[in-house]
């Protein structure tokens, strides 16, 4: 039984790690594009620039940067448009929930003692403390 809990814990940690990596990569996409552009600016201006054949324009590869940023913003718009609800529905499917519930330990309901008048404190007081009898 402890092996099952250990494997569930490992699976849970892997899923959490993948979600953290996914969140960080999606949040850092734009800064990574700027970093890539600044590191490879000369190569982009000479080889990848759209306007490199026109001697008058001096964009220096900014057209390539703009196209990459446009692609990223389009992808983010598509993701946020309507797929988030679909992912939630498919991720929490009935089969997955039944599998998780079968692996988790069953919690028992708490049993409370019922009130019984035979053991009430007043029954003990009546035996000890009573008025004196008249003869």
- Any domain includes 2: no
- Of 92, 83, 123, 108, the closest CA to residue 15 belongs to 92
Residue 84's pLDDT is 55
- Any domain includes 79: yes
Q: Give CA separation, 5 vs 2, 84, 102, 103, 107, in Å.
A: 5, 30, 12, 8, 15
- Any domain includes 57: yes
- Any domain includes 15: no
- The average confidence (pLDDT) of the chain is 76
pLDDT, tens digit (0-9, with 9 covering 90-100), for 35-94: 998 998 888 888 888 877 777 777 888 888 888 889 888 887 777 765 555 555 555 566
What is d(CA 58, CA 49) in angstroms, rounded to the nearest whole number? 10
- Any domain includes 45: yes
- Any domain includes 59: yes
Q: How confident is the model at residue 111 (pLDDT cuts 50, 70, 90)?
A: low
Q: Are 29 and 72 in contact (CB under 8 A)?
A: yes
- Any domain includes 50: yes
Domain count, the chain: 1
- CB count within 10 Å of CB 42 equals 10
Most confident of 25-34, 72-81, 112-121: 25-34
User: Under 8 Å CB-to-CB from 104, ≥6 apart: which residues?
Assistant: 8
- Token pair for 53: 């054949």
- Any domain includes 69: yes
Domain membership of residue 38 as a residue range? 29-93
Residue 117's pLDDT is 57
Residue 1's pLDDT is 62
Of all residues in the chain, the percent with pLDDT exceeding 70 is 63
Q: What is the DSSP string of 94-108?
A: HHHHHHHHHHSPPPP
Does the predicted model carry a pTM greater than 0.75?
Answer: no
Q: How confident is the model at residue 20 (pLDDT cuts 50, 70, 90)?
A: very high
- Position 24 pLDDT exceeds 70: yes
Q: How confident is the model at residue 27 (pLDDT cuts 50, 70, 90)?
A: confident
């Amino acid at each position: 039984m402890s092996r099952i809990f250990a494997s569930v814990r490992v699976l849970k940690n892997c899923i959490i790690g993948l979600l953290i990596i996914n969140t960080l990569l999606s949040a850092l996409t734009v800064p990574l594009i700027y970093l890539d552009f600044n590191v490879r600016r000369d190569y982009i201006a000479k080889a990848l620039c759209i306007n490199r054949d026109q001697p008058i324009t001096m964009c220096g590869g900014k057209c390539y940067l703009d196209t990459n940023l446009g692609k990223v913003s389009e992808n983010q718009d598509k993701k946020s448009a309507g797929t988030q609800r679909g992912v939630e529905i498919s991720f929490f499917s009935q089969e997955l929930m039944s599998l998780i519930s079968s692996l988790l330990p069953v919690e028992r309901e708490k049993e409370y003692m019922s009130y019984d008048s035979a053991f009430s404190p007043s029954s003990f007081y009546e035996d000890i403390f009573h008025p004196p009898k008249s003869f």
